[in-house]
Each structure stands twice: as C-alpha cells, then as structure tokens.
Amino acid sequence: MEAMLYERVDSAVKCNLCGWRCTIQPGKKGICGVRENRGGVLHTLVYGKAISYAVDPIEKKPLYHFHPGSTAFSIATVGCNFKCIFCDNWSISQDRGIKGEDLPPEDVVSMAKNAGCQSISYTYTEPTIFFEYAYDTARIAHREGIHNTFVTNGYMTPEAVDTIDGYLDAATVDFKGSGDPEFYRSFCKVTNTEPIYQSLLEMKQKKIFIEITNLIVTGGGDSKEAFLKLVRWIIDNLGDDIPLHILRFFPSYLYTSSPPPPVSFLEELWKISKSEGLKYVYLGNVPGHKYENTYCPRCNSLLIERLGFEVGSIRLKGRRCAFCNEEINVII
C-alpha cells in the first residue's frame, strides 16, 4: 500500500512521517524497516498486519487521567524507528521480518466494540511507523464512538500530528533517561531528540490529551540533572497539570548488566517533580506503591485508588475533587 507523508526526490523518496525524515533509495527501507521505496513510490509494508493485540486496562498504557478504569483494545505491527537496547518488546519492535495476522481496520474496530472497549490503543511497538493502519482504524473508530490513543516515543513530525488531528484523542509520550541526548545516542541510537519536543508542542496545540512517561535506566539514564531539566520543560511548555509517570527500568534485551533503580531513588525524583510544581506525578513498575494513586493537588485527598493496573474507588464529581471541588485534569 502506498504510504502517506512522503515526497519524491529524483528516484529516491523522502519520508516525512517521523523525526528521521529518511531519504530512501529505490529498493531500500527506512530506519523503521517497514517503509520501502518501490520504483519511486513509498510503500508501507505492515498495513493491516497485526503482530499483537489484546484487551488491556487503559492504566497499562499508562493513561491514568483518560477514562480511568476503562479498557483499551491494544494493537501493534512489527517495526520501530528506535533501537533501544533495553526494549521490553524487542521481539516484535526489532524484528526485521514483515509478519503478522491480517486484520483490517474495520475488524479491529469490531473487535474493540465487541469487547466493550472505550478506546483503541496503538502501542507495544511504535504507532508512528504503522501510521496509515492506525489512521484508517482511528477514523472508523470515531464513527463508532470509540476513542484512539497512541503510546509513542514521540518521534513524530508535526505533519504526522497534524494529519491525525481530529482522530487521535490522547497520547502517552515515552521518554527514556529523561530525554538526555547522550543517553539517546548511546542506548537508542537516536542522534537528535528535538523532534520529540516538537511533536509534544504540536499535540498540545491540537488539544490532544497528553501524559508523559520517563523510564529511569540505571547506568546512564538516571541523571538528576537531566530529570530536572525535563520536568522544567514540561511545566514551562505543556503545563503543571500534565501527568508524569516515573517508570522503573528492569533489565531486558541487550541491556541486562545493570539492576533496576532503587525505589528510594524514584521516590526522590517524585519529590523533585512535586517541589518543582507538577501536580500529578506517579511511580510506575512499582506495584502497590502509594504513588500509583491520584491525589488532589489542592487538599491532597485520595481521588483515584490503584493497585497495579486495577482501579479501586474514584472520588470525583465529574472533573472535580469530591472533597474540595478543585478542578482535576482528567477525562472521565
């Protein structure tokens, strides 16, 4: 299938979907491994080819402030535009083969609807690289009253965000190592992190609901200085009510030499975030921790109780705290 968002440059094509903006010669593929120049036409190789799908709690994305307690139909294809050496889903994200079950967009929506899901989440690998599949599915989903969410590394172009605007309702943007450029170069083989920030600004401008995760990786992705810089960027550019999830790294794929960071260190980062002024900060991959819960930023009352991905009581009146009437950045 012909891809979206590209231009011809003589016999080559320039892909304008993600921050790499690959110039692809005839017969070659982009960095993602799933977009190929065939005779001067850019093709997506993974349209309708689902490598994984499941019904998940939306908290697993994680999205804590977007329809909490609901379920999401999660779907992915093979491929990714990053090469993170610690990737949890490396078996499908780094697979250079084109494989997957034939599952057209209308079937994805039907499965989501039959499962009672309020949303479809394009996740597990990187939704940007299966953009056409996600785009067509998202359009059908909206007609059926189903929301759409991306779980993304954020390496999208403003053109991609603009194209899917109106169909993408929320996004979890995943930082690794607090966005430290040197960490991205060494651990993800990404030479320029600026596109992540550009896409976030574009999402904000388009009023796409945003939550941010930050994976704290021992041995390179655990700089307090980089963490503080990211927190301040979020507050200054996106707002102090953007939910931030501080995620605990566990050894995986090619990076198994370092242990997970101590929970006490993550708690310290949580305190830094709060002291800087972020209203909603969470610890992830620490099941049972009190910082999985949502607290009112004004009166500190427990508003949404969680244990892992399970939601207990919700103490809200619409979008307001049930105790002090403070407005909460949440979509119910």
Paired strand residues for 244: 212, 281
The reply, when asked if residue 299 is annotated as ligand binding, is: no
d(CA 73, CA 189): 30
The number of helices, as runs of H, and strands, as runs of E, in the chain is 8, 20
Handedness of CA 163, 169, 175, 179 (dihedral sign): positive
Question: Is the separation of the CB atoms in 223 and 182 below 8 Å?
Answer: no
Residue 308: Cβ within 10 Å count: 14
Helix (H, G, I), strand (E, B) or coil at 193: coil
The reply, when asked if residue 80 is annotated as ligand binding, is: yes
Among 166, 129, 132, which residue's Cα sits nearest to residue 151? Answer: 129
Q: Output phi, psi for 133, to 5 deg.
A: -65, -45
The reply, when asked if residue 117 is annotated as ligand binding, is: no
d(CA 106, CA 140): 7
Please state the residue numbers annotated as binding site: 80, 84, 87
Please state the residue numbers annotated as binding site for [4Fe-4S] cluster: 80, 84, 87
